[in-house]
């Protein structure tokens, strides 16, 4: 596992159109939520690949589960 995860703060700030300041604690929380979302997406795609008896996760496995994962992420 890599030592540190890359910072998403710069990407989030660059995509924001408004002048909203993000405090460091909020930035860390957004990074954590993004990592948890990607982890959940990877687990679901892994399960889908296992169902299809595939050894690797391919793009069509991710596309098959992304709607379900997004729906669960919304709450």
In a domain, 44, yes or no: yes
pLDDT in the model for residue 5: 56
pTM of this structure: 0.68
Asked if pLDDT for residue 1 goes beyond 50, the answer is: no
Which letter does DSSP use for residue 52 in this model? Answer: T
- Whole-angstrom CA distances from 6 to 10, 13, 28, 32, 33 are 10, 14, 11, 11, 14
Range of the domain at 57: 37-75
In a domain, 71, yes or no: yes
In a domain, 17, yes or no: no
In a domain, 25, yes or no: no
In a domain, 13, yes or no: no
Q: pLDDT tens for residues 28-74?
A: 788 888 889 999 999 999 999 999 999 999 999 999 999 999 998 88
């Amino acid at each position: 596992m890599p030592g540190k995860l890359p910072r998403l703060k710069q990407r989030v700030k660059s995509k924001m159109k408004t002048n909203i300041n993000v405090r460091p604690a909020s930035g860390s929380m957004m990074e954590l939520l993004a990592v948890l979302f990607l982890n959940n997406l990877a687990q679901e795609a892994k399960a889908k690949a296992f169902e299809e008896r595939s050894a690797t996760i391919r793009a069509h496995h991710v596309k098959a589960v992304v709607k379900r994962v997004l729906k669960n992420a919304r709450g």
